C-alpha cells in the first residue's frame, strides 16, 4: 500500500510540475533575453534594409554598427502575469509591460536628426504606434507566449506586435545617420566637385573659381611643364542659343527660372537613379509630391507607410536611369500613400497597398 501511495504521489507531482513549470517561464531572465533577442533581430533586419535608401548605405547601416547601437538600449519586462496555459504544459500565454530604456544623449541625437529631416520627434512617433513614454523610457502592455520543449535550455517566445520593432528601427536609423547629417551641416551643401588644376594660361571670365582656390594660388604652384596638346584644360564656352531664346535670356524684365530640386540633397547623389531624378524636372517634381504624401500617410499609419516606402525604393532603383519607369514608381507609391490616408476612397483596397 505504501508503494502504491508513493507511486500515485509521484505521478501527481510530475503532473503538477509539468503544469507549473511554464508559469515560471513568463518571468525568467531567459524569457526576457529571448524577447530581447527577438526584438533586436527584427530591428536589425528592418534597419539593414535601409542600405538601399541612402547614399553610402552599405557603410552607414552596417550590421556591426546596428548591433552596437541596439546594445545601448535596455529591454525588460514589468508587471508579468500568466494569462493561460495549454493542457500539456508546453505553452504559457503571458502579459506584461514591455519597457525600452534609451540613454538620454541618444534620444537627444535622435530628435536632432529627425528635426533636420523634417520628421516628427521620436516621442510623437511612439504615440502614433500606441507606445507611451516617461522621460527616456518607452512602454506598452503586450501579450506574448512562451514555448518550452523537453531538452531545450532556452524557451522560445512568440510576440506578434511590431510596434516596438519599428520604434527601435527609427531610433537606430537616426543615430546612424547623425554623422552624415553633421557632415552636410558642416559643409552646407555636402560634397563639392573637385577643381581641375590649370597648368598654364589665364582663366576665362565665364569659369567660376572658388574663393578658396584663387587664380594666383593656382598659377604660382610649381608644376612641371607639360605638353598642352595633351594636358589642355577644359574651357567652358557659352552655349549658342536661337535668337528667340537669346532675347528671353537677356531680357531684364524676366527673372531666371529656378531649378526644381527633389526632396533629397543632389550635391551628394551618387546613384544613377538619383542623379537622373536631379537632372529631370518632371522627376524632381514627382519626388517632392511623393515625399509630401509619404509624410501624410506616415502620420495616419506608420507601419503600412513604411512597407510601401521600402517596396517603392526597391522598385525605383531597379529602374536605373529610365525616366518613365521612375515616374511610374512614384505615381504608384503616391496612390498607395493616398489610400493609407483615405482607406474608403474608391479604388483603394488592401491589395493595392502591396507591391
Confidence of residue 287 (pLDDT cuts 50, 70, 90): very high
Residue 6 forms part of a structural domain: no
Rounded Cα–Cα distance for residues 335 and 355 (Å) = 12
Spatial contact of 73 and 168, defined as CB atoms under 8 Å apart: yes
Residue 280, Cα to own-chain centre: how many angstroms?
Answer: 25
Stretch among 51-60, 284-293, 297-306 having the lowest mean pLDDT: 51-60
97-136 pLDDT tens trace: 999 999 999 999 999 999 888 888 999 999 999 999 999 9
More confident site: 109 or 29: 109
Q: Which of 161, 187, 213 finishes a domain?
A: 187
DSSP string for 11-30: HHHHHHHHHHHHHHHTS-HH
pLDDT (0 to 100) of residue 271? 83
129-146 mean pLDDT: 92
Give yes or no: residues 34 and 182 share one domain: yes
The reply to whether 212 falls in a domain is no
Q: What is the largest CA-CA distance in the chain?
A: 118
Out of 35-44, 72-81, 325-334, 343-352, least confident range: 343-352
- In angstroms and rounded to an integer, the radius of gyration of the C-alpha atoms of the chain is 30
Domain boundaries, position 287: 266-353
Look at residues 166, 187, 208 and tell me which one is the last residue of a structural domain: 187
% of the chain at pLDDT higher than 90: 31
pLDDT band at 68 (very low <50, low <70, confident <90, very high): very high
Are 51 and 138 in a shared domain? yes
Distance CA 77, CA 36 (A): 10
- The rounded distance, in Å, linking the Cα atoms of 174 and 180 is 10
The confidence score (pLDDT) of residue 212 equals 42
Please indicate, yes or no, whether residues 15 and 133 belong to a single structural domain of this protein.
yes
Q: How many domains does the chain have?
A: 2
* pLDDT value of residue 88: 67
Mean pLDDT for the chain overall: 75
Are residues 174 and 55 part of one domain? yes
In degrees to the nearest 10, what's the CA dihedral of 207, 209, 214, 217? Answer: -70
Which residue, 134, 156, 187, sits at the end of a domain?
187
pLDDT of 175 above 70: yes
**Residues whose CB is less than 8 angstroms from the CB of residue 214 and which lie 6 or more positions away in sequence, other chains included:** none
Amino acid at each position: 500500500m505504501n508503494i502504491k501511495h508513493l507511486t500515485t504521489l509521484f505521478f501527481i507531482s510530475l503532473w503538477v510540475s509539468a503544469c507549473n513549470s511554464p508559469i515560471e517561464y513568463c518571468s525568467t531572465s531567459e524569457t526576457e533575453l529571448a524577447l530581447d533577442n527577438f526584438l533586436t533581430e527584427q530591428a536589425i533586419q528592418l534597419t539593414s534594409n535601409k542600405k538601399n535608401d541612402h547614399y553610402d548605405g552599405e557603410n552607414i547601416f552596417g550590421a556591426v554598427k546596428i548591433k552596437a547601437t541596439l546594445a545601448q538600449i535596455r529591454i525588460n519586462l514589468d508587471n508579468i502575469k500568466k494569462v493561460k496555459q495549454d493542457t500539456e504544459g508546453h505553452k504559457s500565454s503571458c502579459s506584461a509591460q514591455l519597457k525600452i530604456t534609451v540613454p538620454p544623449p541618444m534620444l537627444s541625437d535622435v530628435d536632432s536628426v529627425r528635426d533636420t529631416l523634417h520628421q516628427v520627434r521620436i516621442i510623437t512617433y511612439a504615440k502614433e504606434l500606441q507606445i507611451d513614454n516617461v522621460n527616456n523610457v518607452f512602454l506598452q502592455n503586450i501579450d506574448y507566449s512562451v514555448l518550452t520543449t523537453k531538452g531545450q535550455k532556452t524557451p522560445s517566445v512568440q510576440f506578434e506586435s511590431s510596434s516596438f520593432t519599428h520604434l527601435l528601427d527609427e531610433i537606430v536609423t537616426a543615430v546612424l545617420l547623425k554623422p552624415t547629417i553633421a557632415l552636410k551641416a558642416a559643409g552646407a551643401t555636402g560634397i563639392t566637385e573637385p577643381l581641375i588644376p590649370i597648368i598654364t594660361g589665364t582663366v576665362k571670365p565665364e569659369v567660376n573659381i572658388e574663393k578658396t582656390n584663387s587664380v594666383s594660388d593656382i598659377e604660382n604652384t610649381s608644376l612641371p611643364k607639360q605638353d598642352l596638346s595633351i594636358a589642355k584644360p577644359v574651357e567652358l564656352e557659352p552655349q549658342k542659343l536661337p535668337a528667340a531664346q537669346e532675347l528671353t535670356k537677356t531680357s531684364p524684365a524676366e527673372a531666371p527660372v529656378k531649378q526644381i530640386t527633389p526632396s533629397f540633397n543632389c550635391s551628394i547623389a551618387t546613384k544613377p537613379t538619383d542623379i537622373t531624378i536631379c537632372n529631370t524636372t518632371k522627376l524632381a517634381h514627382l519626388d517632392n509630391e511623393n515625399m509630401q504624401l509619404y509624410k501624410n500617410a506616415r502620420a495616419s499609419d506608420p507601419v503600412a507607410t513604411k512597407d510601401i516606402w521600402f517596396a517603392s525604393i526597391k522598385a525605383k532603383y531597379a529602374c536605373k536611369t529610365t525616366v518613365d519607369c521612375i515616374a511610374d514608381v512614384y505615381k504608384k507609391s503616391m496612390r498607395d500613400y493616398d489610400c493609407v490616408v483615405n482607406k474608403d476612397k474608391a479604388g483603394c483596397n488592401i491589395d493595392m497597398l502591396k507591391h
